[in-house]
Amino acid sequence: MLLTQTYTSLILHEMTLSMKAKFDKYWGDLVKVNHFLFVGLVLDPRCKLGYVPHILKRRGCSIDEALAKKDEIKSLVFKLYDEYVPSSNQPSGSSANSCSNTTSTTTTIGWADPKKHGMGKNEQKWMKVE
């Protein structure tokens, strides 16, 4: 019994070290982190651009650093959009001649109501940062 507990503890310890190494690799120093990870935050309907300075401030960056990083991320998102728009406006061979009737439906998935998911006023403050 004691042997299996020790073995389990050893496995969990090794797994924790591996997870910590991966976390540090991608999120360890938020000033040097790959900007595309922040683009993912911006595209997440729950977070948007206002979450970038919030997460940076919570991880110890100054307000000036956080706002500068937010501007960098905003610039990157606009550059990505500018790259995407010309290619999306070009008709493709199969859909250029077709006509379709489509109906768009918006569905909210996730945190439609932050209070419903346990977020208090302090956790919602980041939503107001812009």
Q: Which of 22-26, 37-41, 122-126 has the lowest mean pLDDT?
A: 122-126
Angle at 83 between CA 78 and CA 86, to 5 degrees: 120
What is the Cα–Cα distance from 48 to 123, expressed in whole angstroms?
15
The pLDDT, as a whole number, for residue 73 is 92
Q: What is the pLDDT of residues 69-118, one digit of tens each?
A: 899 999 999 999 999 888 777 766 544 444 445 454 444 444 444 454 44
Q: What is the pLDDT of residues 78-92, one digit of tens each?
A: 999 999 888 777 766
The pLDDT, as a whole number, for residue 2 is 64
Strand, helix or coil for residue 78: helix
